[in-house]
Structure 1
């Protein structure tokens, strides 16, 4: 989906807006300064066009959350009675007065209906305006900010204001104070033509898996589809192509899944799937570039393993477009937000969706403004209320900032105090998604980069109280005091293998690692569970966490060895029960299937 917004008559709009200078303005949002690593350069060019997304308050969101808890709780009589698209939109819709007030405000600047785009629930309004007009509307000044490590530049401000009477009708406007650097989660291994060293056993013969079944010993050095089915006890389970179950993965940052690579992968790892394809969905102008040069390691990994593991379940790949970083000496057309809102807007407007969706992208929680993070998180809650299982990789920085190299991690708060803290990842920290950490080797241990910890934004949800409290009580008094929020939502929830996945990239086989591997893997086994439930006439599992923490954890392999270092510490340790390294552990499909069918 690409927005078709008409260009505003710039000069006329400014003339019309002059009278607003006399209206009392009040600061809506401000930050101390740009996050660590960002440096302010000159002012943004006044004619540079910026895409502003305006979030309107959702007065019925508490009712939406109530529905989510009820339909996701295996003990509740409404378990599995999911809401429809129309029902969720009704609960996400702004008050009619808000629509009128905001429309009047926009109209006073010459921005009429034909110049804007409204989301399906009308809770987001999108406009494209020159920087000069945005500055007039928001009583602010935009500047160019450059990141010292990557060199990328963006157009942002550290404070913006609105007329006082508008505050109750506008929840937030972005991009303004948001300095996210959305990235796919992969360790520093990234891509290698040879397997990484460190296997714990010979590569010939067999090993005994956690379910007592034999596993080819080569799986200790190379992870394939066969290895995962053996390790996670799903050999012999066959999914349906026709019962209505579907699986999807998301792609961002111009990551394109290459179809020739996919077929070569199928021939190598799942010959039954050779010749099959997936449904491609473009979101916000996302492309489907099939040149070898454009193939993305992340997109190839996600599609090859998720679609190879679940074949013949019908698969979907969402390609979400987004403007590149602003280049000061190039004619970059538009600055936009990180892409989750665009993706959420699209999928929320669709009547039918895949029941299981995996995403391997995220950012440091503290770089996402709190009100923006909570708003996006509520969008995931709405999908859960519709019966969709949303899974995110937990990150590759251990307890650090997403950099898998502990020596280069930057573990400082960005609130102006620059104190050392652990850095959780978002959206993995959202309590309405299932966060997936990483393991390696057989027997499985926590992989060193497995993202984990505790959210500084979201309080611990009720479903985590027992498990997380037990873990915290097991820590020695004073452990990492002040470095993490013991009352925050704990991540991850579960885990899966995340090391030495054999994929095909640009016609060559090679190895990748990261929780990018773990999320589509765990999602594939969730999709198999949904397949079985749907074939038996049951609803899909939907938002997984209440079920996982109530009963599903008994179908997971508890990981008790390993830790996730970062920020100059050893990080947290994997231990008996839930831990902030591997959650409750990795799937034992036969046990999970029995538990899922009983729910």
Structure 2
């Protein structure tokens, strides 16, 4: 009798909630004062335009996941290297059953039933609805916005609401208030110019560990240069010990196999004819038309796959790009791609030990709720033993304008506060962020992104290093332009300019933190290879190790700065700094 009474109570509460979804009071869930200044309202969104709504359900056990991550990633802890299983991480990311029921009932009240849901893995629900229905469900008004510099169009709203009874069951819904573009971080492309610098007239240059580097590396970077500089000459990785490396590709930037083989033939002859595994996510492709070759994808693949050959390689190609053509009424206007990539990776049984990503955007264009959710997904991968490297960005302390003098460094919260512009996902505390250096001896690359997050507080693993840096700044330096209590980045750096690449059938130079990131990831992959050969686990989430004992294997960069927002930016100095941080390993074998 008691169980029947409880069932009746549950049914009464459920029916009451269902009735309140449409009739009850709506409350604003998220809003922004206005879109970022580069996005201009173009027209009301067509009511029949199809949106793919991603509904993030709260993950009440995620703080426990963060605790486990730090315990398995800190060399001073007993659990170091005791990574979690797929099932264990899923349990920490699961929403409460009542949350799933409540959201399902809300959707059903609009005629959307379980069969219409794309997924509910790791607390995501995906539905495809026309704009007209989305506006009714969210109490919102969608518009088409045009990017004033690129001419791209997206469909967004500046505010959306939900029934009050749902607020505790929905973390956020996108695409709504997100105006991020998520671009590749390849800042410079030079096909004919050769840099002029003070290279030695001798045939070699002495590196930071006494190693000899060809003098030509001060004009052209190749895999041989990087192996010489980072003391990996002669190290041969295994194809069979279980070690793997992955790279990500977004925004329709494809790895061209002809370019890859052309590069191998010139610079990594042993890799000629070797293949990689392609994984398609959310309809991602890898178009082999020479015209479809992506500079970013070619750069990432040629260096990550070339440096680590014959380690098994995987390309993750993920569809999802906000712009569309409003005149053609293209039916899809998808979200940015990270959430799709994470959903796939977290559900995969087998993961590479090292994954490199060279994409990002201004942190303030990403809603804080979204940034926190994606960052926690990165934490889950780290807890499973994956080393994630991300580019720090190519605009110094400024925004997406490559000219430091013309950057618009203002907050987009309606107050137009002058400020440095941090980058995301570089600002996530659960990834290793890679800045850039140039020349040998190395100095900070002026375009290398670095600074402090406005969303994420400074993590404990870097508290000492960052506090030491801040204590050396002159009082009042850049006061009010950055958040001294925020997560600081980059964590490391590596060579980042004058990389020789094969692109659309010809060779040329490319630079940016898109170059340093696969370089550093490749060195980490080699370290993981050495550890696995020695019967150890891979390094997993790197930062607690890097800031405690791993820094001993790094060379300190003490010259250069990263200008932006009309300032000189942060200077490179002794120890950690946001102007450059330390560079990649100066001795592979001693760092493992």
Which TM-score band applies after superposition, normalised by the shorter structure?
A: over 0.9
- Give the direction of change, closer, same or farther, for the CA distance of 1:260–1:320 in structure 2 (3 Å limit): same
Report the alpha carbon displacement of residue 70 of structure 1 after superposing the two structures with TM.
Answer: 0.4
Task: State the match for 2:103 in structure 1.
Answer: 102
Task: State the match for 1:6 in structure 2.
Answer: none
SS in 2 for 1:471: helix
Find the partner of 2:462 among 461, 464, 482: 464
Task: State the match for 1:441 in structure 2.
Answer: 439
- Give the direction of change, closer, same or farther, for the CA distance of 1:195–1:223 in structure 2 (3 Å limit): farther
Report the alpha carbon displacement of residue 120 of structure 1 after superposing the two structures with TM.
Answer: 2.9
Task: State the match for 1:71 in structure 2.
Answer: 72
CA distance in 1, matches of 2:167, 2:359: 32
Task: State the match for 2:579 in structure 1.
Answer: 581
SS in 1 for 2:118: strand
Q: How does 1:322-333 map to 2 (within 5 A)?
A: 322-323=320-321, 325-333=323-331
Task: State the match for 2:15 in structure 1.
Answer: none
Report the alpha carbon displacement of residue 20 of structure 1 after superposing the two structures with TM.
Answer: 5.0
CA distance in 2, matches of 1:395, 1:472: 22
Report the alpha carbon displacement of residue 274 of structure 1 after superposing the two structures with TM.
Answer: 0.7
Report the alpha carbon displacement of residue 501 of structure 1 after superposing the two structures with TM.
Answer: 0.1
CA displacement, residues 270-299 of structure 1 (integer Å, 9 cap, x when unaligned): 101111011011111111100111001100
SS in 1 for 2:243: coil
Worse-matched range after superposition: 196-205 or 58-67: 196-205
Task: State the match for 2:11 in structure 1.
Answer: none
Task: State the match for 1:132 in structure 2.
Answer: 132
Q: How does 1:232-311 map to 2 (within 5 A)?
A: 232-311=230-309
Task: State the match for 2:156 in structure 1.
Answer: 156
The answer on whether the counterparts of 1:396 and 1:403 sit within 8 Å (CA) in structure 2 is no
Worse-matched range after superposition: 44-53 or 18-27: 18-27
The reply on whether 1:594 has 2:590 as its aligned counterpart is: yes
SS in 2 for 1:28: strand
CA displacement, residues 281-330 of structure 1 (integer Å, 9 cap, x when unaligned): 11111111001110011000000000000001001111111245121101
SS in 1 for 2:578: coil
CA distance in 2, matches of 1:323, 1:465: 36
Q: Which ranges in structure 1 are unaligned for 5 or more consecutive residues?
A: 1-16
Find the partner of 2:400 among 388, 399, 402: 402
Report the alpha carbon displacement of residue 404 of structure 1 after superposing the two structures with TM.
Answer: 2.2
Report the alpha carbon displacement of residue 586 of structure 1 after superposing the two structures with TM.
Answer: 2.5
CA distance in 1, matches of 2:126, 2:289: 32
The answer on whether the counterparts of 1:203 and 1:221 sit within 8 Å (CA) in structure 2 is no
- Give the direction of change, closer, same or farther, for the CA distance of 1:311–1:430 in structure 2 (3 Å limit): same
Task: State the match for 1:86 in structure 2.
Answer: 87
The reply on whether 1:479 has 2:480 as its aligned counterpart is: no
Give the aligned length: 575
Report the alpha carbon displacement of residue 420 of structure 1 after superposing the two structures with TM.
Answer: 1.1
CA distance in 2, matches of 1:368, 1:70: 29
Task: State the match for 2:196 in structure 1.
Answer: 198
The answer on whether the counterparts of 1:467 and 1:578 sit within 8 Å (CA) in structure 2 is yes
SS in 2 for 1:27: strand
The answer on whether the counterparts of 1:204 and 1:218 sit within 8 Å (CA) in structure 2 is no
Root-mean-square deviation over aligned CA pairs: 1.3
Task: State the match for 2:143 in structure 1.
Answer: 143
Task: State the match for 1:542 in structure 2.
Answer: 540
SS in 2 for 1:437: strand
The answer on whether the counterparts of 2:154 and 2:322 sit within 8 Å (CA) in structure 1 is no
Q: Which ranges in structure 2 are unaligned for 5 or more consecutive residues?
A: 1-17
Find the partner of 2:418 among 417, 420, 437: 420
Q: How does 1:18-97 map to 2 (within 5 A)?
A: 20-97=21-98
The answer on whether the counterparts of 1:203 and 1:218 sit within 8 Å (CA) in structure 2 is no
CA distance in 2, matches of 1:589, 1:284: 40
SS in 2 for 1:41: strand
Report the alpha carbon displacement of residue 584 of structure 1 after superposing the two structures with TM.
Answer: 2.4
Report the alpha carbon displacement of residue 150 of structure 1 after superposing the two structures with TM.
Answer: 1.0
CA distance in 1, matches of 2:321, 2:376: 24
CA distance in 2, matches of 1:120, 1:308: 35
Task: State the match for 1:13 in structure 2.
Answer: none
CA displacement, residues 482-519 of structure 1 (integer Å, 9 cap, x when unaligned): 00000000010000000100010111010000000000
The answer on whether the counterparts of 1:119 and 1:345 sit within 8 Å (CA) in structure 2 is no
SS in 1 for 2:529: helix
CA distance in 1, matches of 2:305, 2:587: 17
SS in 2 for 1:403: coil
Report the alpha carbon displacement of residue 405 of structure 1 after superposing the two structures with TM.
Answer: 1.6
The reply on whether 1:376 has 2:374 as its aligned counterpart is: yes
Report the alpha carbon displacement of residue 474 of structure 1 after superposing the two structures with TM.
Answer: 0.7
TM-score (norm 1): 0.94
Q: How does 1:310-325 map to 2 (within 5 A)?
A: 310-323=308-321, 325=323
The answer on whether the counterparts of 1:200 and 1:441 sit within 8 Å (CA) in structure 2 is no
CA distance in 2, matches of 1:213, 1:317: 32
Report the alpha carbon displacement of residue 202 of structure 1 after superposing the two structures with TM.
Answer: 4.5
